[in-house]
Amino acid sequence: MSAETFTTSNDLDAINRLYRERGWSDGLPIVPPSVERVARMLAFSSLAPHHVIARLPPGFGEATVEQVAINAVMAGCDPEYLPILIAATKAVAETSFNIQAVEATTNPAAVWLILNGPIVQKLQINASFNCLGQGAWANATLGRAMRLILQNIGGAKPGEMDRATQGQPAKYTFCCAENESLSAWDPLHVERGFKAEQSTVTVVAAEGTLNMNTHSKQSEEMLRVFAQSMIHPTSNEYCHGGEPWLVLAPEHADILKAGGLTKAQVKQRLWELSKMPARDLSVKELLRAQASRRDEYGQIGPDTMLSIARDPSDIWFIVAGGPGTHTVYVPCFGNSRAVTQLIDMTHLNQLP
Amino acid sequence: MVDMITLYNPTAAQSKGSDVDSIYAPRFDTLQGKVLGFIDNAKPNFNHLIDDIAELMVARHGIARVIKRQKRAASVPAPEAVYAEMVEHCDLVITGSGD
């Protein structure tokens, strides 16, 4: 089905007023999705504009290529970003991502996009200084487009089907790339079964970011202080067995690598060091954990040592950022699993 | 002459006329003799709430039998086996969000 069009006065202020009144914006001014701008973006996909990528909960709106392009234009995306957003839309609709719950929950779950592969250089997606902050056009507009897609196509409007109690700033935009050239290990997409020369987007249901600043130069000590920072009794990850993520500073990654650790060993050690006695949970959360993790633990008593994730391999990290002693813990929704999707580079490879 | 522009509506129709359209089951004239299922969403105290509702449904509306099953957590769907059991045995099912 073709997206609906309408004709209006070509006045930026009036257009923004109209999109604001109709609840079509995220609260920030938009780029008007004109027929010409959307057509320029659609040139970056071989798929038919009416091709349905997915039906997005909670409203089960049809995410066609055209609808995705419209929202991407509004977010300020360059036309060549479209293949990323098609892949990301497909990724969030995977059952294991649990987008129905991620969008409708009272928790502050944002969708974090992580880019890997040659696309990062090609589109200048920031993986270095301030990669989770402001400053890079691709990062800012891609994350924003994802949110507009979820809101306008999926129907997750704040206070309506998006029931987030407060939400979080990352619900405006949350996108970065892995700093693959500074990583001591295989990049994320290779770890998740793709080839280094392929480009991928990974979607994560993220509940926030916690700065973990340590000047430690010893790998075991560094992992201990990370693990202790990740422990918190109000965490959804301990309640359900989650999928915690870290954005490792390149220099922290170097120290861990120099300590002789593989990625799997880092995960294993973090998993062991971050166990928390169930008694630290509130009584209500203990009841919830007992229901949610019975299949894993059997009966959970006050002395049960709860792990942050069901398995060490459920802990994930990327290496990203510039120089500095800061690693970021990204606590996740709990009942969601990240999904990595291949990006169709056909049209992007034709760019100079 | 006013300069005009053609723009897109960025929203998608929400499930109308689609394969996920809600299909309502036929409504009952009476609950007498019916089997009632409850899906407990595992939030604290929801089990007590549905215990009370079940008792009232039996006492006041003549529900013949009640089947209660608990999900692992509110944010995940119930297992397929629970849906299959409910479809096989229940005339109506109540689910919801308790806290």
Residues on chain B touching A5 (C-beta within 8 angstroms): 6-9
Check if B4 contacts A (Cβ < 8 Å). yes
Check if B3 contacts A (Cβ < 8 Å). yes
CB–CB of B8 and A38 under 8 A? yes
pLDDT per position as a tens digit, A277-287: 999 999 999 99
Q: What does the DSSP assignment read for A45-103?
A: -SS-TT-EEEEETTTTEEEEHHHHHHHHHHHT--GGGHHHHHHHHHHHTSGGG-HHHHH
Check if B47 contacts A (Cβ < 8 Å). no
Mean pLDDT across chain B? 87
Compute the nearest-CA separation of A334 from chain B (Å): 9
Compute the nearest-CA separation of A166 from chain B (Å): 18
Q: What does the DSSP assignment read for chain B?
A: ---EEEEE-----BSTTSTT---PPPPPS--TT-EEEEEE---TTHHHHHHHHHHHHHHHH---EEEEEE-S-TTSPPPHHHHHHHHHH-SEEEE----
With cut-offs at 50, 70 and 90, classify the pLDDT of residue A138. Answer: very high
Q: Per residue in A313-349, is it b (16+ CB within 10 Å) or e — as a string?
A: ebbbbbbbbbeeebbbbbbbbbbbbbbbbbbbbeebe
Nearest residue to A73 via CA among A42, A45, A49, A103: A42
| Structural domain boundaries in chain B | 35-95
With cut-offs at 50, 70 and 90, classify the pLDDT of residue B45. Answer: confident
| Structural domain boundaries in chain A | 1-205+337-352, 208-332
Q: What is the pLDDT of residue A2?
A: 84
CB–CB of A59 and B75 under 8 A? no
Which among A1, A38, A59 is the nearest to B14, CB-wise? A59
The percent of residues above 90 in pLDDT, for chain B, comes to 66
ipTM over 0.90: yes
Q: Which of A1, A2, A4 would best serve as a mutation to test chain B binding (most B beta carbons within 10 A)?
A: A4
Q: Running DSSP on this structure, what letter comes out for residue A132?
A: T
CB–CB of B42 and A10 under 8 A? no
Q: Running DSSP on this structure, what letter comes out for residue A106?
A: S
Q: What is the pLDDT of residue B27?
A: 87
Q: What is the pLDDT of residue A225?
A: 98
Residue in A closest to B14 by C-alpha: A61
Mean pLDDT across chain A? 97
Residues on chain A touching B2 (C-beta within 8 angstroms): 9-10
Q: What is the pLDDT of residue A305?
A: 98
Total count of residues recorded for chain A: 352
Mean pLDDT of A256-280: 97
With cut-offs at 50, 70 and 90, classify the pLDDT of residue A50. Answer: very high
pTM metric for this prediction: 0.94
With cut-offs at 50, 70 and 90, classify the pLDDT of residue B23. Answer: low
pLDDT per position as a tens digit, A173-215: 999 999 999 998 999 999 999 999 999 999 999 999 999 999 9
Q: What is the pLDDT of residue A44?
A: 97
Residues on chain B touching A32 (C-beta within 8 angstroms): 5, 7
Q: Which of B8, B19, B43 would best serve as a mutation to test chain A binding (most A beta carbons within 10 A)?
A: B8
pLDDT top residue among A350 and A208: A208
Q: Crossing angle for the helix pair A137-148 and A82-92, nearest 10 degrees?
A: 40
Which among A32, A152, A284 is the nearest to B11, CB-wise? A152
Tell me the CB-side half-sphere exposure of residue B46, using CA atoms within 13 A.
24
pLDDT value at B21 more than 60: no
Q: What is the pLDDT of residue B42?
A: 87
Residue in A closest to B8 by C-alpha: A5
Which among A8, A67, A291 is the nearest to B7, CB-wise? A8
Residues on chain A touching B79 (C-beta within 8 angstroms): none
| Main-chain dihedrals φ then ψ at residue A54, nearest 5 degrees | -170, 165
Q: What is the pLDDT of residue B14?
A: 60
